Structure 1
Amino acid sequence: MIQVYEARKIITMNPSQPQATHIAVKEGRILAVGDLAAMREFGEIRVDGRFADCCLMPGFVEGHSHALEGTMWEYPYLGYFPRRDPAGVHWAGAQSLEAAQALLREQAERLPPGRPLIAWGFDPVYFEGARLDRLLLDEAVDHLPLVVLHASLHVMTVNSAMLELAGLHRHAEIEGIMVGDDGRPNGELQEMAAMHAIFETLGMNLFETVGSPTTLWRYGRVARNAGVTTITDLYNPLTDEGIAALKDVTADEDFPVRLVPAMAALAWSVEEGIKRLQGCLEQGNDKLYFGPVKLMTDGSIQGYTARLKWPHYHDGHANGIWNAPPETLWEMVEAYHQAGLQLHIHTNGDEAVELMLEALEGALTFWPKRDHRHTLQHCQVIDHAQLRRASVQGLCLNMFANHLYYWGDIHRQRTLGHERCQRLEPLASARRLGIPTAIHSDAPVTPLGPLFTAWCAVMRQTATGKTLGEHERLSVAEALEMITLGAAYTLRLDHLVGSLEVGKFADMVALDCDPLVSPPEALKEIRVTATILGGRVHDAE
């Protein structure tokens, strides 16, 4: 007997048949899409009407997020914006330095003596006056080591106890270890190399906790509740233990998502990384897809660690820093491309975009490949000349649309100014040039929620309601394509997911109303009621 799901409307993302009312599933794949009469051609059917009042769509594809979303909620949230954790607990956030200090003081009192306190999500760009440093942290907590990870995940601030424990109070000359007027480390550590010293001292690296089964299960549940059926972990070190956890967790029939880990290139030498990733390619399953490699170039714009072309930062702040020397990044691009591996490259600033366009152009000249699908990630202020070069090179883009809401006001006033903010996340321009494009949340940097991400791309509103770049707005249909088929294309999975067509996985999301007829401004309010993965229903919580 064939299983058939009925809906008030099915949005297929299949241009040959954009809408339907019924979908037939066999052995976890789509057997047919159409009306009830088309379903009956297969003989005896069983119609499941639980979604009869819902709108079904292809399950959302989150092309840039991190399994750290499943780790960070083990620690107190110190962000500026209110947020809800996977258990449904509401965190009000901290809208002042005094509120942040009070929260840290309260959390420290709950810990056993000597145990370090780790908090996350802090965003210093929202606070006027003195920037968070070791002295301000000492006022809150001075009797135990304290680590505050910033929202961007590219910066942390630690107190004096943590600096001394790590021995960094003696190493002001190392890049990324920021110093105060007295020439001593002030507690702020920028980018991966400087932060690694803290993780090494603590005997744990947050970026490696993605290999924990507990983390992966929590990540899967968060994704399910957001309507996501295919998700990335776009900075996975692929340790032996992590690979084993990925295989075990995704092999469980109850795990609710398909997972695409991208190997963190900077965690390995080029030779080791290529060998490790190539060795993983055949170890996946229907819910685990190895293949991409993630390369980190610069940092974040709001953290002042992104690399911007002239005139650099609008408020005169010094330009950002590279996560590796430019020549090393260039060599890595050439090596991974020559090995036939797909690159997903973090490029926040337009100077980082420029470096990677030059490196990719050189690699493609010496080792041509037609369908490489190398993807520039974030590319928030990519300019129009760079967009045209990206189009010529056959690149994909995955833009951080949520940035418009969370940091648009800051960029307009402080980091980028008026003109560059009109092309912040230039989605419509990328579409006009025919560049395959996706949009993303970068969770846990911002909350995982593809419908909110789509709303950002359509409305382009900041947190204060201002519009940035109205000529770069997308239609609702275009935004929905970027969180389904567009994202699937950047992951080389568009033959399996992203649209509802015969032969693809029966991966769907059930929504309480139709996003194509709802007012565009209401897109972020649409509720996910369930996901369907391979024909199996997973109710949202």
Structure 2
Amino acid sequence: MSIRIFSARRIVTMDPSLPEATHVAVRGGKVLGVGPLEELHDLGDYELDERFADKVILPGFVEGHSHALEGAIWKYLYLGYFPRTDPTGRLWEGVKSLAQMQQRLRQAAALPAGEPLVAWGFDPVYFDGVRLDKRALDEAVGERPVVVFHASLHVLSVNSTMLRLSGLDRHAGVEGIMLGADGCPNGELQEMAAMHGIFEALGRNLFEEVSSVDALRAYGAVARRAGVTTITDLYNPLTDAGIAALREVAAADDYPVRLVPAMSALAWPADQGVARLQACSEWSTERLHFGLVKLMTDGSIQGYTARMKWPGYHDGHPNGMWNAPPEALQQFVLDYHQAGLQLHIHTNGDEAVDLMLDAIEEALTLWPRPDHRHTLQHCQFISQAKLRRAAKLGVCLNMFANHIYYWGDIHRERTLGYARSRRLEPLASALRLGIPTAIHSDAPVTPLGPLFTAWCAVERRTASGAELGTHERLSVAQALHTITLGAAYTLRLDHLVGSLEVGKYADMVVLDEDPFEVAPDRLRAIRIAATVLGGRVHEN
């Protein structure tokens, strides 16, 4: 088995015993040695690969919270507020007004008769006083069903035709089906339970479109271009078709990433979910890792569906909603913990954080586990007291750092106010308390790009350029750790990926510039030259 030694201007290893090097030796897809070239001669005959000699190598980025929906959603119409580039490289301008949104829908409506028009990314929080209801959609397209996912993916809006087709126009009073002044459903549907009526009428669940080989291939391609070598799909129903697709793409020699799907807990009764996830373990390979379960508690703060403690939303908006009764959510934690599985728990509002910390504490009291690594995902709004409690319970955090840029201004002005917005994503506090911490993009909610996510954690600047919570800034070194070894730890993969150490997979990202030498504000602009997965090079 041949040895290849990659050279670089600088190699940042994330290994505290050997933080930097100039060469890394690879054999059989794993790291055989790290150091200066003269110290690697004793490994045997080798091929020296100098194509990256003027570049900087880091461990491949680990995206601990995103969704394979990123690989499927671009076949639908983009209606987001911010400009965004699709997987083909096309730049979509942002939608800045309701009129622009309606015009884009009209332009896209040239479909076969009766075929639904599906769009995504719309964010009404950026349009003061606007809620996207059936009337606004009817004005744009009335003759065919229209479905518009909001940016958070926790809310969707439909037109009157879609309401009638689904039968939801007759379901006033059901939680999540919002009503207009006339007491009738107004076309806005909040959270998963309300959305399922639309999916049934469409004949497909859009969240299950990740069960496609093409979607997973597109997902891997997007990840590779962003420098990611290990990526999660943190809401996978793990249907038979979905498992087959995961196994097929992961088995392909040219697939550029390692996949970590997390089973959607709410898609299964707990006993069946436990059995299914345990059965999947036999299909784990070097590039496909089963074992995680994702539990959805509340919604999003900017969508007003997160559960908030007193004093609630800064602008007086009513509290959000649960995706299942609180007692059911707590029971899921007990069931999966008792089965020895690792939970990744969506918690946005501080009331949701409280509920889940209570559940984890109860589970640990009944069935102690010293290294459970249950992880609170997003965890955008958590008090210092709850951080200390999380540390005591051994809980990990994976925070949505991109949120600072995309919705920081909204939280300052509307949802949280001045004081509380300063502790949005309290990353520095978490690290000071020794909590294992990662950061993420939640793609497709925001674009997949770990260097941008790291920039958000370092600069803490909103879209308007305002600084938000500067006392919670990370250093560049800390931010890079959260997108490599920190994220790997939360996935229970830190023994395999996240750093360049002997025996680990030879997964690397190659950068044109040194993130420690450029100004912190330029961190997000560093070009990804290539990734290396198990020693195989994928150049951009």
Q: Secondary structure at the match of 1:281?
A: helix
Where does residue 169 of structure 1 map in the other structure? 169
Distance 2:301 2:89 in 1: 30
**What is the CA-CA distance between 1:284 and the residue it aligns to?**
1.2
* Rounded Cα–Cα distance in structure 1 between residues aligned with 2:526 and 2:339: 43
Aligned to 1:99: 100
Q: Could you state the TM-score of these two structures normalised by the residue count of structure 1?
A: 0.99
Once the two structures are superposed, what CA deviation does each residue of 1:9-33 show, in whole Å capped at 9, x if it has no partner? 0000000111000000000000000
- Equivalent residues, number: 539
Match of 1:201 in 2: 201
Counterpart secondary structure, 1:41: helix
* CA–CA separation in structure 2 for the residues paired with 1:533 and 1:440: 20
Deviation at 1:128, TM superposition (A): 1.5
The aligned counterpart of 2:146 is: 146
Residues 195-222 of structure 1 deviation map (CA, whole Å, 9 limit, x = unaligned): 1110111001111111100000000000
Q: Are the counterparts in 1 of residues 508 and 531 from structure 2 also a CA contact under 8 Å?
A: yes
> How far is the alpha carbon of 1:281 from its aligned partner?
1.0
Alignment-derived partner of residue 417 in structure 1:
417
Aligned ranges 1:290-439 → 2 under 5 Å: 290-439=290-439
Aligned amino acid, residue 511 of structure 2:
L
CA deviation digits over 1:470-494, x for unaligned, max 9? Answer: 1000000000000000000000000
Q: 2-side partners of 1:363 and 1:432: how far apart?
A: 26
1:456 match? 456
Cα distance change of structure 1 residues 305 and 48 upon mapping to structure 2, 3 Å threshold: same
Secondary structure, in 3 states, of the residue corresponding to 1:156?
strand
Counterpart for residue 228 of structure 2? 228
2: CA distance, partners of 1:421 / 1:484: 27
Matched residue, 1:51: 52
Question: 3-state SS of the aligned residue for 1:233?
Answer: strand
Query: Are residue 508 (structure 1) and residue 508 (structure 2) matched?
Result: yes
Q: Report the Cα offset of residue 45 of structure 1.
A: 1.6
Task: Give the SS at the match of 1:344.
Answer: strand
Deviations 1:413-455 (A, max 9, x none): 0001011111000000000000000000000000000000000
Cα deviations by residue, 1:258-307 (Å, 9 ceiling, x for unpaired):
00000000000111101110110121111000001000000000000000
Match of 2:22 in 1: 21
Paired residue for 2:109?
108
Distance across 2 between alignment mates of 1:462 and 1:373? 31
1:330 is paired with a residue whose SS is helix
User: Structure 1 vs Structure 2: percent identity of aligned residues?
Assistant: 69
5+ residue gaps in structure 2? none
Query: 1:190 Cα deviation (Å)?
Result: 0.1
**Are 2:234 and 1:264 equivalent residues in the alignment?**
no
Deviations 1:496-539 (A, max 9, x none): 00000000000000000000111111000000011000000011
1:30 equivalent in structure 2: 31
Deviation at 1:43, TM superposition (A): 2.6
Which letter maps to 1:271? Answer: D
Residues 124 and 130, structure 2, Cα contact 8 Å, conserved in 1:
no
- Cα distance in structure 2, aligned partners of 1:496 and 1:69: 25
C-alpha separation in 2, matches of 1:418 and 1:523: 27
Distance 1:418 1:291 in 2: 40
Give the letter for the 2:246 counterpart.
Answer: L
Structure 1 residue aligned with 2:497: 497
Report the Cα offset of residue 182 of structure 1.
0.4
Q: CA deviation at 1:53?
A: 1.0
Amino acid at match of 2:523: L
- Whether the 8 Å CA contact 1:39–1:45 is kept in 2: the answer is no
Distance in 2 between residues matched to 1:191 and 1:53, nearest whole Å:
49
Return the TM-score normalized by structure 2.
Answer: 0.99
Secondary structure of the corresponding residue to residue 294 of structure 1: strand
Distance 1:405 1:43 in 2: 49
Secondary structure in structure 1 of the residue aligned to 2:193: helix
What is the distance in 2 between the residues matched to 1:288 and 1:129? 45
Structure 2 residue identity aligned to 1:243 = I
Alignment-derived partner of residue 8 in structure 2: 7
Structure 2 CA distance, aligned partners of 1:95 and 1:494? 42
Q: How far is 1:341 from its partner?
A: 0.3
